[in-house]
């Protein structure tokens, strides 16, 4: 096990924040695509699949951004591993 002290990183915090904000943009785009596809009556068609795909990408980005921020804050405030 590596016992070197971990140091806070501004780059990690900034990357987490940027990924978190970009995930919110992607999620809003996915919601708009989903609503427009439903308004056109495109159930079980290509627009629905694209909307759900974009929503899943946004969810993945959201999880990655939150994980990076939690990781950075745990290092910054010395929470146990």
Where are the chain's structural domains? Answer: 11-76
Other Cβ atoms within 10 Å of 76 Cβ, number: 14
The residue behind tokens 């915090």 is 13
Token duo for residue 61: 């980005």
Residue 80 predicted with pLDDT over 90: no
Collect contacts of 52-60 with beta carbons under 8 A, ≥24 apart. Answer: 54/26, 54/29, 54/30, 55/27, 55/30, 55/31, 57/26, 57/30, 58/23, 58/24, 58/26, 58/27, 58/29, 58/30, 59/23, 59/27, 60/23
Task: State mean pLDDT over 45-69.
Answer: 95
pLDDT in tens, 19-49: 999 999 999 999 999 999 999 987 888 999 9
User: Where are the alpha helices (H) located in the chain, listed in sequence order?
Assistant: 10-39, 46-76
Percent of the chain with pLDDT over 70: 91
What pTM was computed for the model? 0.84
């Amino acid at each position: 096990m590596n016992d070197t002290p971990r140091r806070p990183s501004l780059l990690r915090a900034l990357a987490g924040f940027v990924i978190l904000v970009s995930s919110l943009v992607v999620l809003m785009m996915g919601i708009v695509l989903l609503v427009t596809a439903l308004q056109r009556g495109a159930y079980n068609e290509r627009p629905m699949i694209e909307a759900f795909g974009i929503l899943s990408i946004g969810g993945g980005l959201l999880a990655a951004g939150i994980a990076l921020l939690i990781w950075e804050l745990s290092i910054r405030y010395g929470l146990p591993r």
